[in-house]
Chain A
Amino acid sequence: MGQHKQQLETEVLVIGGGVTGTGIMRDLALRGINSVLIDVKDLNAGASGGNHGLLHSGGRYVASDAETAAECRIEGDILKIIASKAIDPCGGIFAAVEGDDPDFASQFPEYCKRAGISCKELTVKQARELEPCLSEKTIAAFQVPDASVDPFHLTLSNVQQAQEVSDSDYLPHTQITGFDIIDGEVKAAICHDSRANAEVRISAKQFINASGAWSKHVAELAGCADISLLYSKGTLIISNSRVNRGVINRLRLPGDGDILVPGGTVSLLGTTSDNVTSLENIKPTVSEVDRILAEGAAMIPSLQSTRFIRAFAGVRPLLMASDAVADGRNASRGFTIYDHEEQGLSNFATVAGGKLTTFRLMAEKTGDLIAKRLGNTNPSHSATTELPSHEGVRWTEPGYSASYWFKRKDPTDLILCECEMVPQSAVHEIIEQAPGAEEEMTLKAIGMRSRIGKGTCQGAFCSMRVTSELYDKNIYNNTDGLQHMRSFIEERYKGIRPILWGEQMPQMELAETMHCGLMGLDLFDDDKAVEVVEKS
């Protein structure tokens, strides 16, 4: 297979398919600026796909980072209006338990007031009525306007809106390998399309690096050495069913296992903050999970007997000032836009740091810089324009599949994922409508766009059924299907290993029986998947 060179041309190249990159794509589109968005893998492959799903009221930062706290408040209010379908405005509580610093608790309302965050004191009785899972040893509680948000919903909807209102495009599986720079101007990005195994050259007038934890690496490819990031790993665990009504935060200086966020039909407990130097091989560990659980249980005792079905880890790319001490908990949660002019470039910029909650603001400020450089005088419309939900996004909403299937009353629509009630028709729709036009629809891609693999069995059963379905539809016609099933399961396992105890043990035994005993996947190798010729 020869290497073809594909050439593309656009106004702006946006690098990084997380909430920030897609937010920029959207912001630019709303100003009439066309862009191409690329990602090494697929949407939300970095921090945007591995976070708590918390739309911060800002309460968490009032004591340590008032600026970020205020930003969270403002942005949270905006998003609740423009992206209401992606958000559950469940509210939140900050609660301290016996042993926590009572001074911190008493100062909390004042800090909130300074940041403009609404904070209502509750009696312990009121707090426990609102959230019965709160410990009897709660000593103080305050109500704040926290909410939970679905980051995939946001990302997918950003891309869709950008594509609808402009001539913008999204290309997954496209990695930057270098830049073509002449006289301080970036002419093009040289990329590698890992699916087509081909080189792609993308020319543009402006280049924006929003690649999160990889932004230092990408900037270096353009010859810029001015970015300093701290990589802070955070692990979270997901419960089988929803434990809390709204968000519950520990009322103390940020520490491990501080926050329980409801996410549809589950709850997410986290998190940790451990510095890492490499972005490779990031996965949750047994000791991190045990740490999170011990801390969380101090505030919510029932967590000790809650069934957890998955753990995951993500890396926060935090800004580090060059003279700062590397401390993930105390690093700024603010963001910075690097214009790289001092590095000798006139049309390259990086946006780094920040939070999920403030992505729109990050995109607006970045859009301002790019528009200015393009001589485009349109202001940002991102705060006042509604962000409609992507059609296909409904499949990622917990519970949606079940009610959709039930209402349809179509017995021909077989259920492929029984944990989350995802029918065949949903899988067909996803295959047809995948953004970025996947040539080969893998289980992983389907899993990302639906609830498949996210329920109690974590893909053990449905991976077999969906794979059969894909063979039936001739999307697979050789051993690749089994190969992909194996990769899907190996990937899911990273999040399952650290929570394997109690009720998850029978689940794991059944899964291993099926994957090895019935599917033969443990003996599957790349060269020769299946032995038929009998060896003596």
Chain B
Amino acid sequence: MIKQTRYHQSELAVIGAGIAGCAATIFAQARGIKTTQIGNTGALAYTSGVFDLLGVADGKHLKDPWQGLTKLRELEPNHPYAKLSNKEIRSAFDEFTSTVADMGLNYTAPGDENHLALLPAGATKPTYSMPLTMRKITQAIAEKARVLIVDFAGLQGFSANEIVANLSEQWPELRSTRIEFPEMDSNAQLFPEVMARALEVEATREQFSKLIKDVAGDAQYIAIPAILGIHRPDRIHKHIEKLVRLPIFEIPTIPPAVAGIRLRELFEQQLSERGATVIAQQTVREVSFSEEGIKLHLKDSYGPVEVNSDKLLLASGRFLSRGLLADQQQVREALLGLPLQQPEGREAWFSDDYFDPKGHAVNRAGVLVNESFQPIDENNQVVDDRLYAAGIILANQDWIRQRCGAGLAIATAYRAINAIVASR
């Protein structure tokens, strides 16, 4: 059988299925831009599921991200956030979270401050927006309430003891306990994803809730690892709270984490239902720019695919998602060979100290862009006026240390899409 090439035509092609790529597709759809999105969502499944705007400055937790952003623009004038106003970032975030809620996954409404999210080993981080299934931590912390953290026999990497041990000095009312998950061989290894899918079954929820009620004692809140379903976590959350008769919140787990899987599946299903062409879990092999347009070549299991597009948005991420590659001497942008800002020579890439408060210089390497988020070269010339870039592939930011990954992805995608609209 000869494999026939399938052709797609769109106004915009988005490369990348992480938060930036998905945000770009969402914004494009809302503005009536016919979009094809291509990408592999590896990294999304590793995230904790919360949306950070700006969590850390000067090695300390930030309570007010907006003030933090204002300061950041002064201190780091080349930071991607410096091209955007607080108002614009806020609009971007609002539009993104309300669309995600529309799609079926509810997050806390973005406001004026960060709130502390609890992390798998008992550390905390200030974040801007959390899934509703996690949000009652905020109230529980404020009340220093009696919280019972429940973990499960066989679920490795999540230890209620560990979380309590690390927080108890400041939060003495925390307790831990372990139960068995219903209908699973409690001696074998459990995975959050499997438990989450099991809780999509009503009967399992009923058994689960009973087991929790039995150990709840005088707890005011129950905390569990993030396992409240994949598809309709808010509904599952409400049902279980009703049965247990106590407020419940999820705590993120180490990868592969359900909260990230929820986002990935949500985007994969919903973006195409809303009219985008989504070519999931594939890698673009080659891109060519000509007067007629931009051609992307890739393959899926049925054979070759060619996407023809007027505009291209590159949101392919960094090393983990293979948006960037490195040999012994230098870093390269993987797909188009775009000029990159980077430290001179490998000796300068990484600090001597892993936890250097300044972070590692190579993490700030990346694509340079103009105000419209079009990639530019060392002479400030636009590489191609049909090409845009967004997300953590951009230079001059350190998303891991600054805790700004989601905000950066959403806000830069927002500006890029608006620039595309303006250029039509």
Interface residues of A in 487-519 (CB under 8 A from B): 489-490, 493, 497, 500-502, 505-506, 508-510, 512-519
Evaluate contact between B116 and A534: CB separation under 8 angstroms.
Answer: yes
Evaluate contact between B355 and A514: CB separation under 8 angstroms.
Answer: no
Evaluate contact between A522 and B159: CB separation under 8 angstroms.
Answer: no
B350 to A: closest C-beta gap in Å: 5
Which of B47, B123, B325, B355 meets A490, CB within 8 Å?
B355
Contacts of A536 in B (CB 8 A): 63
Evaluate contact between A534 and B63: CB separation under 8 angstroms.
Answer: yes
Interface residues of A in 407-431 (CB under 8 A from B): 411-412, 414-416
Evaluate contact between A500 and B123: CB separation under 8 angstroms.
Answer: no
Tell yes or no: A524 within 8 A of B by CB.
yes
Contacts of B171 in A (CB 8 A): 532
Contacts of B101 in A (CB 8 A): none
- Which of A28-36, A131-139, A233-241, A465-473 lines the interface with chain B? A465-473
Tell yes or no: B344 within 8 A of A by CB.
no
Evaluate contact between A501 and B355: CB separation under 8 angstroms.
Answer: no
Tell yes or no: A523 within 8 A of B by CB.
yes
Which of A481, A531, A535 meets B162, CB within 8 Å?
A481
Evaluate contact between B187 and A522: CB separation under 8 angstroms.
Answer: no
Tell yes or no: B319 within 8 A of A by CB.
yes
Evaluate contact between A478 and B166: CB separation under 8 angstroms.
Answer: yes
Tell yes or no: A245 within 8 A of B by CB.
no
B64 to A: closest C-beta gap in Å: 8
A307 to B: closest C-beta gap in Å: 12
Closest residue to A519 on the B side, CB-wise?
A: B121
Closest residue to A412 on the B side, CB-wise?
A: B187
Tell yes or no: B231 within 8 A of A by CB.
no
Evaluate contact between B46 and A513: CB separation under 8 angstroms.
Answer: yes
Tell yes or no: A334 within 8 A of B by CB.
no
Tell yes or no: B366 within 8 A of A by CB.
no
B118 to A: closest C-beta gap in Å: 9
Contacts of A532 in B (CB 8 A): 116, 124, 141, 167, 170-171
A410 to B: closest C-beta gap in Å: 9
Interface residues of B in 163-184 (CB under 8 A from A): 165-171
Instruction: Report how far A518 CA is from B55 CA in the complex, Å.
Output: 13
Closest residue to B56 on the A side, CB-wise?
A: A523
Closest residue to B322 on the A side, CB-wise?
A: A506
Instruction: Report how far A523 CA is from B120 CA in the complex, Å.
Output: 15
Interface residues of B in 311-334 (CB under 8 A from A): 318-320, 322, 324-328
User: A501-B328, A513-B46 are known contacts. Are A464 and B400 too (CB-CB below 8 A)?
Assistant: no
Which of B124, B154, B357 meets A522, CB within 8 Å?
B357
Evaluate contact between A477 and B165: CB separation under 8 angstroms.
Answer: yes
Evaluate contact between B327 and A501: CB separation under 8 angstroms.
Answer: yes
User: A510-B46, A519-B120, A536-B63 are known contacts. Are A468 and B354 too (CB-CB below 8 A)?
Assistant: no
Which of A290, A490, A521, A523 meets B61, CB within 8 Å?
A523
B48 to A: closest C-beta gap in Å: 6
Tell yes or no: A476 within 8 A of B by CB.
yes
B144 to A: closest C-beta gap in Å: 9
Instruction: Report how far A505 CA is from B344 CA in the complex, Å.
Output: 17
Interface residues of B in 185-206 (CB under 8 A from A): 185, 187-189
Tell yes or no: B339 within 8 A of A by CB.
no
Which of A478, A512, A515, A535 meets B169, CB within 8 Å?
A478
Interface residues of A in 94-108 (CB under 8 A from B): none
User: A476-B165, A520-B125, A531-B116 are known contacts. Are A286 and B347 too (CB-CB below 8 A)?
Assistant: yes
Instruction: Report how far A533 CA is from B63 CA in the complex, Å.
Output: 11
Tell yes or no: B209 within 8 A of A by CB.
no
Evaluate contact between B61 and A531: CB separation under 8 angstroms.
Answer: yes
Tell yes or no: B119 within 8 A of A by CB.
yes
Contacts of B110 in A (CB 8 A): none
Tell yes or no: B295 within 8 A of A by CB.
no
Tell yes or no: A402 within 8 A of B by CB.
no
Instruction: Report how far A514 CA is from B328 CA in the complex, Å.
Output: 25
Tell yes or no: B381 within 8 A of A by CB.
no
Which of A465, A505, A522 meets B156, CB within 8 Å?
A465
Interface residues of B in 385-403 (CB under 8 A from A): 400-401, 403
Instruction: Report how far A509 CA is from B171 CA in the complex, Å.
Output: 32
Evaluate contact between A471 and B159: CB separation under 8 angstroms.
Answer: yes
Contacts of A461 in B (CB 8 A): 254
Contacts of A478 in B (CB 8 A): 165-166, 168-169
Tell yes or no: A482 within 8 A of B by CB.
yes
Which of A290, A502, A514 meets B254, CB within 8 Å?
A514
Evaluate contact between A412 and B188: CB separation under 8 angstroms.
Answer: yes
Evaluate contact between B48 and A530: CB separation under 8 angstroms.
Answer: no
Contacts of A510 in B (CB 8 A): 46, 320
B182 to A: closest C-beta gap in Å: 18
Evaluate contact between A505 and B158: CB separation under 8 angstroms.
Answer: no
Instruction: Report how far A412 CA is from B125 CA in the complex, Å.
Output: 33
Evaluate contact between A530 and B124: CB separation under 8 angstroms.
Answer: yes
Evaluate contact between B119 and A414: CB separation under 8 angstroms.
Answer: no
Tell yes or no: B68 within 8 A of A by CB.
no
Tell yes or no: B252 within 8 A of A by CB.
yes
Tell yes or no: B352 within 8 A of A by CB.
yes
Contacts of A278 in B (CB 8 A): none
- Of A415, A497, A524, the most chain B CB neighbours within 10 A belong to A497
Tell yes or no: B346 within 8 A of A by CB.
yes
Evaluate contact between A506 and B166: CB separation under 8 angstroms.
Answer: no
Evaluate contact between A497 and B352: CB separation under 8 angstroms.
Answer: yes
A379 to B: closest C-beta gap in Å: 51
A339 to B: closest C-beta gap in Å: 42
Closest residue to A465 on the B side, CB-wise?
A: B157
B28 to A: closest C-beta gap in Å: 27
Contacts of B142 in A (CB 8 A): 534
Question: What 5 additional pairs, Cβ within 8 angstroms, besides A414-B189, A520-B121?
Answer: A411-B187, A467-B162, A509-B318, A520-B119, A533-B170
Which A residues have a C-beta under 8 Å from some C-beta of B? 285-287, 290, 293, 411-412, 414-416, 461, 464-465, 467-469, 471-472, 474, 476-479, 481-482, 485-486, 489-490, 493, 497, 500-502, 505-506, 508-510, 512-524, 529-536
Question: Across chains A and B, which 3 residue pairs bring their CB atoms closest together, nearest first?
Answer: A520-B123, A471-B162, A412-B187
List, sorted by A's number, 11 A–B pairs whose CB atoms are closer than 8 Å.
Answer: A471-B161, A476-B165, A477-B165, A490-B353, A508-B350, A509-B318, A509-B400, A513-B46, A517-B48, A518-B254, A532-B171
